[in-house]
Chains A and B, each alone.
Chain A
Amino acid sequence: MSAGHVVDAEPYEPVFTGETMAELERRFAEYPNKQALLLPALWMVQERRGWISESTISEVAAVLGLTPAYVKGVVTFYTMYHTHPVGRHFIQVCTTSPCGLCGAEDTVRALLEHTGCGEVGATSADGRFTVVEVECLGACGFATPVMVGDDFIESVTPEKVPELLARYP
């Protein structure tokens, strides 16, 4: 493990051990080099830890034979990787033009109000929700699409927000 400047509050527990490491190694056969596994490996980290810390960046770098600085450069390029902890339910709302034409900004306001997040990017005090605005989710005919974690929900209007949130305790 490199990147000596990273100090963890608790002893670091590696992600890539046992079955998780075996799963990554099985995928090596599908690519001509290990670097190509970087995005898949980062997804595996986020699925298991919820976000990608400096320590996991160093671990991924070591596993794939890259430097932590290189891995961090890639992590920060892509908007879906979280570089800090987020709420239990991460909510992404599309506000790009086609959804904006159909009232996406009202849906954002309703989500901020009913989750108690208050502002875009913030996490509710109980740690239940984080709400962010995102650019085009590719479902423009079903405005406004909202993602809660991995669930993709179409045609969300402000009126539907309370019932939607109730499904995510």
Chain B
Amino acid sequence: MGFPHPSHPGETVVLSKHFGDAGARTHAGWVERGGYEGLRKALGMTPEAIIEVVKASGLRGRGGAGFPTGLKWSFMPKDDGKPHYLVCNADESEPGTFKDREIMRWTPHALIEGCAIGAFAMGVERCYIYIRGEFTEPWAVMAEAVREAYAAGTLGDNAMGSGKPIHITLHRGAGAYICGEETALMNSIEGRRGNPRIKPPFPAAAGLFAMPTTINNVETLAAVPHILVRGAEWYKSLCKGNPKSTGTKLISVCGHVQRPGNYEVMLGTPMKELLYDMCGGMRPGRTLKAVIPGGSSVPIMTAEEAESALLDYEGLIEKGSMLGSAGMIVMDDSTDMVYQIMRLARFYAHESCAQCTQCREGTAWTTRILERILSGKGKESDFDLLLDLADNMTGTTICVLSDSCAAPVVSGIRKFRGEFEAYIRRERAPVLELA
């Protein structure tokens, strides 16, 4: 559903079916709508069989990386005698992305059910859902849903009468974009600063509290109950493009479109259909200039690239960008690209955890150079300096925050160079004053 707008016929509504329906928030309401059938079915299967179904469905991580979920689950060791953990990443803080918030606000039990199925499949007794500190309303809805799930016996030492313990703890973040990175998130739960960890070891070997751990995004886990109930073949059939991209995806659309919101489409849907049919196109009198399709960390696309792209993992790579979290930032012809790229760089400079030099210095330098250009004091040599910095910031650090800052700078200079030159050559009036 194009929440908060009515559903569009071009959408395929699975995860968002009950967005806006407050009755779906309660345990009883969820059961009435067919909820917890996926968990019931899973508890009657072997853990291996559950993982096989998830593998066969083709479900891939919806947080940004697109890693096959069933394969990730299969990396967890078996019968090793150690506690295992499942962590749900509900830190949604990638600019442009606001889908997990709606899943938690409207269908909290879908997430609890997905967590419980994953927990059972991976021998996990306790799952932590890490919710960003600013999500006060989703937190309250989730807390009530967890309380209800315990009261109903769905969670607890004998989950749904299965004899298996499945527990869920909500853990509140406190304001740090970097905690959406899985190893930083684990440090944050452990009561540490949110600094990403060097990999290996990978979480499945030594993750939370140094124990085998799997981290999945909210949307990924919320899709699992549907796959258990309706089958892997059904999920695989939800595909309009590349067969490696299956299922539906919630696309968050923001910026200069007539109807911003969350749209659920089959992977492989043409981006043009989403932008013009579902979102109603640009504001009156305006034309499309650029799209950042996967949350702010992916390369910027021109209007031509966007209008010819298919919305799936492969389709966006083909156009030089990435599906990422599918948080789509749409910019029309009124947009000052240099200013927007500076604003993104400033975001990354603010959010750098500062443990790697390339990132701590690189994000700050990039921001200052872009501010200098916007203040009318840019030089022609700034292009080389920015690109050299970006080169040193890519693939050289513990996590990819630094790469994410470099991506819009490099793609922005390549695709909108004239706008930078206009400031540097004093053809355009400065918009910033440097202190």
Contact = CB atoms under 8 A, between A and B. Distances in A.
Given A138-B97, A140-B254, A141-B253, A101 B192 contact: no
B404 interface: no
Given A98-B96, A101-B340, A138-B135, A43 B172 contact: yes
Contact of B255 (A32, A39, A102): A102
A74 B262 CA distance: 35
Contact of A98 (B100, B133, B254, B353): B254
Given A38-B191, A96-B343, A97-B329, A79 B174 contact: yes
Contacts, number: 137
A92 B96 contact: no
A140 B254 CA distance: 6
Contacts of B296: 96-97
Contact of B340 (A73, A100, A152): A100
Given A135-B350, A140-B96, A39 B83 contact: no
A138 B134 contact: yes
Interface stretch (A8-16, A122-130, A143-151, A156-164): A143-151
Given A98-B254, A102-B255, A39 B136 contact: no
Contacts of A80: 133-134, 174-175
B274 interface: no
Given A78-B175, A136-B347, A101 B190 contact: no
Query: Which has the most chain A C-beta neighbours within 10 Å: B191, B331, B343, B353?
Result: B191
Given A33-B209, A78-B175, A97 B347 contact: yes
A73 B353 CA distance: 12
B162 interface: no
B220 interface: no
Interface string B317-331: 000000000010101
Given A102-B255, A140-B97, A152-B136, A79 B175 contact: yes
Majority DSSP secondary structure for residues of A touching B = mixed
Contacts of A81: 174-175
A137 interface: yes
A74 B209 CA distance: 17
B123 to A, nearest CB: 16
A70 B353 CA distance: 16
Interface stretch (B59-67, B87-95, B356-364): B87-95
A98 B350 CA distance: 16
A15 B239 CA distance: 55
A37 interface: yes
Interface string B128-143: 0000111111000000
A74 B191 contact: yes
A85 interface: no
A32 B97 contact: no
A31 to B, nearest CB: 8
B252 interface: yes
Given A38-B191, A136-B177, A143-B260, 17 more contacts: A36-B189, A36-B190, A37-B191, A64-B191, A66-B191, A77-B353, A78-B175, A96-B95, A96-B347, A101-B340, A134-B175, A135-B93, A135-B350, A136-B95, A136-B347, A138-B98, A140-B97
A165 interface: no
B255 A98 contact: yes
